Structures are given as structure tokens and as C-alpha cells.
């Protein structure tokens, strides 16, 4: 139960959030076709622009959603005139390290921002057709004991979809108006293809219901989408198709089958493929502990296969802020690409709910290649295991970075 003083302050919190610095709905007139394709989250405020496009409905499936401007735009949709926009949200109930638990009652121990996040749940649920529900893990994870709703998906008016590598937090969106202490390297992709959007819409509707269903027949209708827990096979096949090069960025590479595919193509005796791999610095979360046996074996196998791992450090700025590599993207032969929410872990490929998409439009692939290549070649990256274990390129610029929570 919420006591009377807290009940009285909730309308005030909402009013301030709408009136102070709220984005306008001018973006609602944006031609959706102009947003089609690849976007760098640090440069293109695509999540905000997509939310502003809505006229009828906004459906969101997300791991974390703490950015205040995202909440403002959702509230604007709820109060849109002449007709409110229907909003439905599925959220991971227990993100790793998240301090504000959306689905618990507001308490006096919550700070103002947490109270506002929890207030949004009630406002969406009270709106016409609105729903705001936790992802039902027991029913939707296919029997896995540990899984997360880790995907990042927005559906607009049932006709457009945004898939992102990053959460809807100020760091992943590089929302400088909120002055984040760091900006993540993250990407988004917008599609309007009726077949692909239709598949994503049906997955959202099934996930919203919270009842078990067979995901595979839906995925069989799509040529471009990857959805966990069935992301592993298409990603492994994609890597093995490479003839000249593989460029890959990810928070980390721990899935043994993904790593085996990278090693296989790089170690081919005939026509070996050059693998350019960038992962987040081992010092991103503080001084690393002693490497596990599995980690040592992985680094040794990459070295034996002539795969040179580079490590994304805090000295590599994104949007003018110390950077953190949170993106998940693969490009083969500089012609075909994939991006999504899938980290390099067994949980991500084979247990979680994750979303990803393949694309080969030359301008989009070129933009992604340029970013991946720039990160890989950056002189401020750590370019050996010994260098990243030393933490020099992280701690000289910033003594200790706040722990990144998005780790499934």
C-alpha cells in the first residue's frame, strides 16, 4: 500500500517530467522510411524518434528502461490528443544489479527516480488497453532454470520495429541531456517489412500472454531475424559462411560454439579468414580477478588460431564520454551483417529471450564496418591480454567505472 503523502506526490512527479525538458511530438511526422536501417545510438537518437512516430500503439519488450526521456515520451503517448496511444510493455523483472524493482510497490526507501519508474507501471496499466507486465520466465524460457528477457524491441503501430543492442537507459542511448558518466557503444536497426514486423508482433503478443508456445514455427517464417533461445545455430552458420573476413564486437566472447566457429574460419589451412575481434576491457568492472581455466584456454585457442583480440577501454570515448563496449555485432566479408542483443554467452544464445537481425544493405553495412574498424584500430584500445590485465588504459582516465548491469 502507498501512504497518502506518496499518493499525492505521484501526479506532481508526472507533471514535472512532462513539462521540464520534454521532447516535442514533432518527430511524429517523421517519414518512417527515413529511419529504415542501421543507426549508431551515440549519434542518432533513433529510439526517441521511433517513439515519437507512434499514432496508434507502442509495444516494448525490454531488459532495462531507466532513461527519463523514454518515460516522458511514453507518458506523452498515454496523453496524446485527440486519442491516447495504446502502450504495452514487457520487462525483465530482475535485471542483474538493478536497484529499482519496477514491479514492487513504491516505498519511502525509493529515491524519486525509482518512484517515477514505478509510477509509470501504474499509469500504463490504468490507460486504455495498456499493459505493463514482467516477462514470465518459467513459462517462456523453454525449461531453462536461469534466463532473462534480455531483448530490446519496440513495435510502432504494428508496422515498424526497432531492434537494439542497448537498453533504454541513458548510457546505452548516450543521452547527453541526462549527463551519463559514460556512453555505451550500442547500435539499433529499424525495419518496416510487413513479414518481419509481423513475426516480431506475434512473438510479442505470445510473450505478453505469458503462456508457453513453440517459437520455431514463427522463426521459420523469417529469413532475417534471430530470436533466442534459438540464436546459436544461425549465428554459427553465419560466421562459417565467411570467405575473407569476420569483424565482431561483443561485450565478451564466452559461448564455446561461437568461439569454435571463429577459430575454425581463422585456422583454415586453405583460404583462412581474417578475424577482427573487439570485446570490452577486462578492467571495465574493476581490477580483474585471476583468469579462470576456461578463460585462459579461450585466449590461448584464439592466439593459436591467429585471432588478435582487442579490448575496448574507458579511454575510447563515445559521444564525448568514457566509452564501454556493449554492442553485439558481426560482419562477414564486409558485405553481410548482423546485430542484436545477444551477448557472447550460452545464456544469451540458448536460454534468454533475445532479438537480432541480419542485413546486407551496402550503406548500412558500410557504416557498421567503419565503426567496428575504427574501434579495432583505436590506439587507446588494449591490444593484448597482458595490456588489458594491467588496466592502464582504463584507470588513467577514470579510476573505476560503475559496474555495467547488462550481463546475461
Tens of pLDDT, residues 79-101: 999 999 999 999 999 999 888 99
For residue 311, give the CATH number of its domain: 3.30.870.10
pLDDT (0 to 100) of residue 48: 97
End position of a domain, from candidates 190, 221, 252: 221
The closest of 139, 136, 133, 168 to 152, measured between CA atoms, is 168
In the predicted model, is pLDDT for residue 28 greater than 50? no
What digits encode the pLDDT tens for the residues 94-138? 999 888 999 999 999 999 999 999 999 999 999 999 999 999 998
Are both 207 and 232 inside the same structural domain? no
End position of a domain, from candidates 221, 248, 264: 221
In the predicted model, is pLDDT for residue 398 greater than 50? no
| Structural domain contains residue 182 | yes
Grid cell locating 280: 570490452
Are both 233 and 371 inside the same structural domain? yes
The closest of 101, 95, 126 to 14, measured between CA atoms, is 126
CA dist 110 → 83, 124, 133 (Å): 33, 20, 20
Are both 212 and 262 inside the same structural domain? no
Are both 338 and 216 inside the same structural domain? no
pLDDT band at 39 (very low <50, low <70, confident <90, very high): very high
pLDDT (0 to 100) of residue 334: 98
pLDDT band at 18 (very low <50, low <70, confident <90, very high): very low
What digits encode the pLDDT tens for the residues 324-381? 999 999 999 999 999 999 999 999 999 999 999 999 999 999 999 999 999 999 999 9
Are both 367 and 382 inside the same structural domain? yes
In degrees, rounded to 5, the angle at the alpha carbon of residue 357 between the alpha carbons of residues 351 and 360 is: 150
Are both 236 and 173 inside the same structural domain? no
Are both 350 and 379 inside the same structural domain? yes
pLDDT (0 to 100) of residue 293: 87
Residue 99 burial (10 A CB sphere; 0-12, 13-18, 19+)? exposed
- Are the CB atoms for 266 and 307 separated by under 8 Å? yes
Are both 311 and 386 inside the same structural domain? yes
Are both 209 and 310 inside the same structural domain? no
In the predicted model, is pLDDT for residue 62 greater than 70? yes
- Residue 188 is classified by DSSP as E
Are both 232 and 216 inside the same structural domain? no
| Structural domain contains residue 319 | yes
Percentage of the chain surpassing pLDDT 90? 79
In the predicted model, is pLDDT for residue 234 greater than 70? yes
| Structural domain contains residue 402 | no
Percentage of the chain surpassing pLDDT 70? 88
Domain count, the chain: 2
CA dist 206 → 201, 212, 360 (Å): 9, 8, 29
| Structural domain contains residue 161 | yes
| Structural domain contains residue 26 | no
pLDDT (0 to 100) of residue 406: 52
End position of a domain, from candidates 180, 205, 221: 221
What digits encode the pLDDT tens for the residues 239-271? 999 999 999 999 999 999 999 999 999 999 999
Are both 373 and 249 inside the same structural domain? yes
pLDDT (0 to 100) of residue 32: 67
Task: Give the Cβ contact number of residue 43 at 10 Å.
Answer: 12
pLDDT (0 to 100) of residue 390: 87
**Stated pTM of the model:** 0.90
pLDDT (0 to 100) of residue 26: 40
Grid cell 528502461 in the structure block, residue: 65
| Structural domain contains residue 293 | yes
| CA 63/CA 47 separation, integer angstroms | 15
| Structural domain contains residue 146 | yes
pLDDT (0 to 100) of residue 403: 42
| CA 247/CA 369 separation, integer angstroms | 8
Residue 81 burial (10 A CB sphere; 0-12, 13-18, 19+)? exposed
| Structural domain contains residue 400 | no
**Domain span including residue 277:** 228-395
Are both 126 and 216 inside the same structural domain? yes
pLDDT band at 285 (very low <50, low <70, confident <90, very high): confident
Residue 299 burial (10 A CB sphere; 0-12, 13-18, 19+)? middle
What digits encode the pLDDT tens for the residues 148-191? 999 999 999 999 999 999 999 999 999 999 999 999 999 999 99
pLDDT (0 to 100) of residue 151: 98
Amino acid at each position: 500500500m502507498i501512504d497518502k503523502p506518496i499518493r499525492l506526490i505521484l501526479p506532481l512527479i508526472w507533471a514535472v517530467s512532462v513539462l521540464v525538458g520534454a521532447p516535442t511530438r514533432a518527430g511524429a511526422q517523421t517519414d518512417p522510411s527515413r529511419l529504415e536501417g542501421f543507426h549508431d545510438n551515440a549519434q542518432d537518437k533513433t529510439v526517441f524518434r521511433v517513439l515519437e512516430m507512434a499514432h496508434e500503439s507502442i509495444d516494448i519488450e525490454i531488459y532495462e528502461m531507466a532513461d527519463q526521456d523514454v518515460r516522458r515520451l511514453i507518458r506523452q503517448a498515454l496523453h496524446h490528443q485527440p486519442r491516447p496511444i495504446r502502450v504495452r510493455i514487457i520487462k525483465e523483472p530482475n535485471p542483474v544489479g538493478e536497484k529499482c524493482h519496477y514491479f514492487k510497490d513504491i516505498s519511502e526507501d525509493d529515491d524519486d527516480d525509482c518512484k517515477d519508474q514505478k509510477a509509470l507501471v501504474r499509469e500504463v496499466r490504468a490507460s486504455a488497453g495498456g499493459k505493463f507486465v514482467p516477462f514470465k520466465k518459467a513459462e517462456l524460457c523453454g525449461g531453462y532454470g536461469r534466463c532473462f528477457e534480455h531483448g530490446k524491441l519496440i513495435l510502432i503501430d504494428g508496422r515498424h520495429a526497432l531492434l537494439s543492442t542497448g537498453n533504454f537507459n541513458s548510457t546505452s542511448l548516450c543521452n547527453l541531456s541526462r549527463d551519463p558518466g559514460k556512453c555505451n557503444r550500442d547500435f539499433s536497426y529499424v525495419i518496416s517489412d510487413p513479414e518481419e514486423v509481423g513475426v516480431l508482433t506475434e512473438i510479442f503478443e505470445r510473450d505478453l500472454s505469458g503462456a508457453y508456445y513453440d517459437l520455431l514455427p514463427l522463426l521459420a517464417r523469417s529469413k532475417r531475424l534471430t530470436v533466442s533461445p534459438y540464436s546459436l545455430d544461425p549465428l554459427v552458420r553465419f560466421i562459417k559462411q565467411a570467405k575473407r573476413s569476420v569483424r565482431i564486437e561483443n561485450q565478451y566472447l564466452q559461448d564455446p560454439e561461437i568461439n569454435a566457429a571463429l577459430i575454425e574460419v581463422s585456422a583454415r589451412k586453405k583460404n583462412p579468414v581474417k578475424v577482427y575481434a573487439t570485446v570490452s576491457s577486462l578492467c571495465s568492472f574493476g581490477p580483474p580477478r585471476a583468469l579462470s581455466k576456461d578463460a585462459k584456454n579461450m585466449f590461448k585457442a584464439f592466439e593459436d588460431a591467429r585471432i588478435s583480440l582487442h579490448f575496448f577501454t574507458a579511454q575510447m570515448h563515445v559521444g564525448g564520454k568514457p566509452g564501454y563496449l556493449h554492442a553485439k555485432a558481426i560482419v562477414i566479408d564486409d558485405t553481410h551483417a548482423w546485430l542484436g542483443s545477444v551477448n557472447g554467452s550460452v545464456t544469451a544464445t540458448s536460454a534468454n529471450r533475445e532479438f537480432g537481425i541480419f542485413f546486407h544493405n551496402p550503406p548500412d553495412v558500410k557504416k557498421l564496418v567503419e565503426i567496428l574498424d575504427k574501434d579495432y584500430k583505436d590506439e587507446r584500445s588494449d591490444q593484448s591480454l597482458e595490456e588489458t590485465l594491467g588496466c592502464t588504459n582504463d584507470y588513467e582516465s577514470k579510476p573505476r567505472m560503475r559496474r555495467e548491469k547488462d550481463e546475461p
